[in-house]
Amino acid sequence: MLSGKDRGKTGKIVRVSPDTNSVAVEGLNMIKKHVRAKRQDQKGQILERERFVSVSSVALVCKSCGKPTRVGFQLSEKGAKGEKIRICKKCKATI
């Protein structure tokens, strides 16, 4: 996370919402949701779940340098086609 109350923390992306341009990160930006009882013999409860965050406030963490980074693209030298691979903008390692 780049901003907000969970700034500097890391986690895996659980859900993606492309129409609102947001993601939910595991264990970050938690909210409490009050749920009513569905039946008479069941109790209501308070659930904790991840709330969606804007894509601009999260960044990919590079495996080799361990820093939040932007993603760049490069054509690989393998084969005649030259596949498009993702690279870290800071250390130039493949992601």
How many residues in total does the chain contain?
95
pTM score > 0.75 for this model? no
CB–CB of 81/72 below 8 Å? no
pLDDT at 42: 94
Residue 12's pLDDT is 95
Task: Output the CA torsion 69→72→78→83 (10° steps).
Answer: 130
Reply yes or no on whether the pLDDT at 59 is more than 80: yes
Mean predicted lDDT score pLDDT of the chain = 92
pLDDT per position as a tens digit, 2-23: 998 999 999 999 999 999 999 9
81 — pLDDT class (breaks 50, 70, 90): confident
Residue 77 DSSP code: S
